Amino acid sequence: MSPKPFYLTTPIYYVNSVPHLGTAYTTIAADALARYRRMTGDDVFFLTGLDEHGQKVAQAADEHGMSPQEWCDSIAPRFLETWELLDISNDDFIRTTQERHKRGVQAFWTKLHDEGYLYKGAYEGWYCVPDETFHAEDQLVDGKCPGCGRDVEFIREENWFFKLSEFAQPLLEFYATREAEGRPFIRPETRRNEVVSFVEGGLKDLSISRTTFSWGVPLPFADNHVTYVWIDALLNYITAVGYGSDDPADAARFERYWPAQVHFVGKDIIRFHCVIWPAMLMAAGLPLPDSVFAHGFLLTKGEKMSKSKGNAVSPAELAARFGVDAYRYYFLRDVQFGADGSISMEAMVQRINGDLANDWGNLCSRLFNMVGKYFDGRVPDANGAGEEEADAAVRAVADSLPARYEAAMTAFDYAGALEATWDLIKATNRYIEESAPWNLAKSDETRARLAAVLYTALEAVRVAALFCAPVMPRTSAEVWRRMSLGDIGAVTDIEAAAKWGQLPSDNPVEKGDPLFPRIDKDAE
Ligand code: ME8
């Protein structure tokens, strides 16, 4: 069977500043799913990138005495470095100033223009530069942006408009159809209700161009108009996979990967992705994505972290302090994906010391150590003794893991997937405690039983490492390496790989340093 395409995206981030924990959060979540889907054999295309146009970016460039393009070119490497540091396995990195993107944007709006979905009009109203969003007078809250509470500026200019209002009904039908088919477009459900009631209230036509500044993609049919940054940015999801190119290879790529399986976004940008974006695609006669998943905000001391608010911490600092895998684990385990989550150093240290150092790292160390001590560092042969109830119980937990993990990942429930994995890790720890190999090692008579116990525990570790790998690729690869199991990154059928009993006897096992050193709470 040929692998099925699985196309997933993060938002493309504004280059008004550098990556922070919020943008890294979305990117890590998408990465974990991309890695998992590669391990289930899908042909994954994982896209992230940068949103380089708009007033906010032009302003940032200006403040730094650079041209907008120079500014973008100076920030782009900061994102690339951070993603590399965090082991992000994206297959492409789109920048909206790239030719391939600009060409696609122009092709798209020319098509909608030709088909009569656009008209010229006068716009008068308010604009929030930090959010790059238009607001009518009656939407303002105490004269401020209803989204972020910051100052808005009054604009009066000639704009092109997209007849978004015509799409309210088709959108409502679309949401309902997907619901009825059991594959909801908007996830999680709370967001769905929010979007549906917004659209039920009716939609206004959308201004799609700006004339009072020039840092954007020129609209091909209208002199002096540049594309409004949001409708330029949304198109990255199709231009990156080849939309708007004459090259047959690009056309084939578009055919293969579009529509996307999931767009990951923060809840702040859900209307753009769940209302404007599908309406744009409908107007262009293009297929609609499978789903948009909106996660919540990371909060520190009850406040949303953001670049503009300046209360952001650098991902590089945290990764250097705690390790990349621990960093990735904490955010996906401690915050329920889809809900807001408070993050803190204390909680992070607790997770690392508890789940990672004590449960997982320690399981590997003590087990590998015992293999070294009792079996010369080689996987013992378990065939000498029959399976006892306790062994079967561990095996049963391992056997149930692939299906539980798959169900959780299909629901974008990372915490659930990790919890299922931890059920195996904890069961194995208990099993070692109860079987007490150190006692079995005291007599030759119990040597076969000792071999069986260590084999069972090692096999559980082999399986647990597989399911830790999407979230913690480095340490999982290291566990497999220490067990002489080859490259975990090459696994393309995780279910088959997880089948019990595949650990070869006699494989050399290396003890190695602790996978997750304990963090000194007081020093933190
Ligand atoms: O909105 N908690 O870019 P952006 C969780 N360019 N996630 C957070 C967060 C927080 N405190 N702060 C930011 C844009 N994020 C547009 C997108 S897409 C066609 C264009 C994450 O740089 C979250 O994913 O402002 C949010 O949606 C994104 O960063 C906003 O990034």
Chain position carrying tokens 């009518």: 136
Q: In this predicted structure, what is the pLDDT of residue 398?
A: 98
Q: Are residues 317 and 354 in the same domain?
A: no
Q: Check: CB of residue 30 under 8 Å from CB of residue 13.
A: no
Ligand 1 centroid from CA 266, angstroms = 6
DSSP of 156-223 = EEEEEEE-GGGGHHHHHHHHHHHHHTT--SEESHHHHHHHHHHHHT----EE-EESS---SPBPTTST
| Partners of 160 in the β-ladder | 120
* Cα 176 from Cα 170, distance rounded (Å): 10
* Cα 63 from Cα 71, distance rounded (Å): 10
* Residue 523 falls inside a structural domain: no
* Residue 513 falls inside a structural domain: no
Residue 107 backbone class (left: φ over 0; alpha: ψ -120 to 50; beta: rest): alpha
For the CA atoms of 422, 424, 430, 434, the dihedral, rounded to the nearest 10 degrees, stands at -170
Ligand 1 centroid from CA 255, angstroms = 28
Collapsed DSSP state (helix, strand, coil) of residue 338: coil
Residue to mutate (ligand 1; options 31, 51, 108, 191; most atoms within 8 A of CB): 51
Ligand 1 centroid from CA 26, angstroms = 8
Domain that holds residue 19: 5-322
* Residue 522 falls inside a structural domain: no
Residues 236-265, mean pLDDT to the nearest whole number: 98
**Domain end marker among 266, 295, 322:** 322
pLDDT in tens, 458-499: 999 999 999 999 999 999 999 999 999 999 999 999 999 999
**22 touches ligand 1 (CB under 6 Å):** yes
Residue to mutate (ligand 1; options 8, 15, 25, 28; most atoms within 8 A of CB): 25
pLDDT in tens, 390-403: 999 999 999 999 99
Whether the predicted pLDDT of 301 surpasses 80 = no
Q: Check: CB of residue 296 under 8 Å from CB of residue 309.
A: no
Q: Phi and psi at residue 293, in whole multiples of 5°?
A: -110, 120
**11 touches ligand 1 (CB under 6 Å):** yes
Q: In this predicted structure, what is the pLDDT of residue 222?
A: 93
Q: In this predicted structure, what is the pLDDT of residue 493?
A: 98
Question: Which of these ranges, 57-71, 279-293, 300-314, 458-472, has the smallest mean pLDDT?
Answer: 300-314
Q: Are residues 145 and 217 in the same domain?
A: yes
Tokens (6 digits) for 239:
């231009």
* Cα 384 from Cα 377, distance rounded (Å): 18
pLDDT in tens, 100-120: 999 999 999 999 999 999 999
Q: Are residues 470 and 436 in the same domain?
A: yes
Ligand 1 centroid from CA 159, angstroms = 26
Q: Check: CB of residue 256 under 8 Å from CB of residue 5.
A: yes
Q: Are residues 189 and 311 in the same domain?
A: yes
Whether the predicted pLDDT of 411 surpasses 80 = yes
Q: Check: CB of residue 171 under 8 Å from CB of residue 178.
A: no
Q: Are residues 242 and 381 in the same domain?
A: no
> What is the atom index within ligand 1 of the atom nearest the CA of 16?
22
Collapsed DSSP state (helix, strand, coil) of residue 415: helix
Ligand 1 centroid from CA 445, angstroms = 62
Residues 12-19, mean pLDDT to the nearest whole number: 94
**82 touches ligand 1 (CB under 6 Å):** no
CA-nearest residue for atom 16, ligand 1, is 13
CATH number for the domain that contains residue 150: 3.40.50.620
Q: Are residues 342 and 297 in the same domain?
A: no
**2 — pLDDT class (breaks 50, 70, 90):** confident
Residues 386-392, mean pLDDT to the nearest whole number: 93
Residue to mutate (ligand 1; options 23, 101, 237; most atoms within 8 A of CB): 23
Residue to mutate (ligand 1; options 268, 273, 331, 336; most atoms within 8 A of CB): 268
Q: Check: CB of residue 357 under 8 Å from CB of residue 314.
A: no
Tokens (6 digits) for 213:
């500044």
Q: Check: CB of residue 217 under 8 Å from CB of residue 106.
A: yes
**12 touches ligand 1 (CB under 6 Å):** yes
> What is the atom index within ligand 1 of the atom nearest the CA of 272?
19
Whether the predicted pLDDT of 309 surpasses 60 = no
Question: What residues contact 277, with CB distance under 8 A and at least 6 apart?
Answer: 234, 237, 263, 289, 292
* Cα 433 from Cα 103, distance rounded (Å): 63
Q: Are residues 100 and 48 in the same domain?
A: yes
Ligand 1 centroid from CA 175, angstroms = 24
* Residue 504 falls inside a structural domain: no
Q: In this predicted structure, what is the pLDDT of residue 400?
A: 98
Helix (H) or strand (E) holding 292: strand 291-295
Using alpha carbons, select from 452, 461, 463, 467 the residue that is nearest to residue 505.
452
Q: Are residues 276 and 330 in the same domain?
A: no
Question: What residues contact 289, with CB distance under 8 A and at least 6 apart?
Answer: 185, 237, 259, 260, 261, 262, 263, 277, 278, 281
* Residue 518 falls inside a structural domain: no
CA-nearest residue for atom 12, ligand 1, is 22
* Residue 273 falls inside a structural domain: yes
* Cα 295 from Cα 278, distance rounded (Å): 19
Using alpha carbons, select from 377, 310, 296 the residue that is nearest to residue 338.
296
Whether the predicted pLDDT of 304 surpasses 60 = yes
Whether the predicted pLDDT of 385 surpasses 80 = no
CA-nearest residue for atom 31, ligand 1, is 13
Residues 229-234, mean pLDDT to the nearest whole number: 97
Name residue 374's amino acid: Y
* Cα 476 from Cα 421, distance rounded (Å): 13
Ligand 1 centroid from CA 56, angstroms = 14
Percentage of the chain surpassing pLDDT 70?
Answer: 97
* Residue 275 falls inside a structural domain: yes
Residues 307-314, mean pLDDT to the nearest whole number: 62
CA-nearest residue for atom 27, ligand 1, is 266
* Cα 160 from Cα 195, distance rounded (Å): 25
CATH number for the domain that contains residue 465: 1.10.730.10
Q: In this predicted structure, what is the pLDDT of residue 306?
A: 60
**23 touches ligand 1 (CB under 6 Å):** yes
**Mean pLDDT score of the chain, rounded to an integer?**
95
**242 touches ligand 1 (CB under 6 Å):** no
Give the number of domains in the chain. 2
Question: Which of these ranges, 30-39, 182-191, 305-314, has the smallest mean pLDDT?
Answer: 305-314
**57 touches ligand 1 (CB under 6 Å):** no
Q: Check: CB of residue 112 under 8 Å from CB of residue 69.
A: no
Residue to mutate (ligand 1; options 269, 273, 299; most atoms within 8 A of CB): 269
* Cα 429 from Cα 423, distance rounded (Å): 10
Q: In this predicted structure, what is the pLDDT of residue 303?
A: 72
> What is the atom index within ligand 1 of the atom nearest the CA of 298?
2
Q: Is the pTM of this model over 0.85?
A: yes
Q: Are residues 291 and 383 in the same domain?
A: no
Residues 127-145, mean pLDDT to the nearest whole number: 91
pLDDT in tens, 20-71: 999 999 999 999 999 999 999 999 999 999 999 999 999 999 999 999 999 9
> What is the atom index within ligand 1 of the atom nearest the CA of 26?
24
Q: In this predicted structure, what is the pLDDT of residue 382?
A: 84
**524 — pLDDT class (breaks 50, 70, 90):** low
DSSP of 10-66 = EEEEETTS---HHHHHHHHHHHHHHHHHHHTT-EEEEEEEEE--SHHHHHHHHHTT-
Q: Are residues 311 and 331 in the same domain?
A: no
> What is the atom index within ligand 1 of the atom nearest the CA of 296?
5
Q: In this predicted structure, what is the pLDDT of residue 521?
A: 78
**380 touches ligand 1 (CB under 6 Å):** no
* Residue 265 falls inside a structural domain: yes
Using alpha carbons, select from 249, 248, 293, 250 the residue that is nearest to residue 270.
293
Using alpha carbons, select from 395, 394, 420 the residue that is nearest to residue 409.
420
For the CA atoms of 201, 133, 130, 27, the dihedral, rounded to the nearest 10 degrees, stands at 70
Q: Are residues 458 and 336 in the same domain?
A: yes
Q: In this predicted structure, what is the pLDDT of residue 307?
A: 54
DSSP of 466-504 = HHHTTT-HHHHHHHHHHTT---GGG-S-HHHHTSTT-SP
Q: Are residues 108 and 55 in the same domain?
A: yes
Q: In this predicted structure, what is the pLDDT of residue 383?
A: 75
Q: Check: CB of residue 477 under 8 Å from CB of residue 87.
A: no
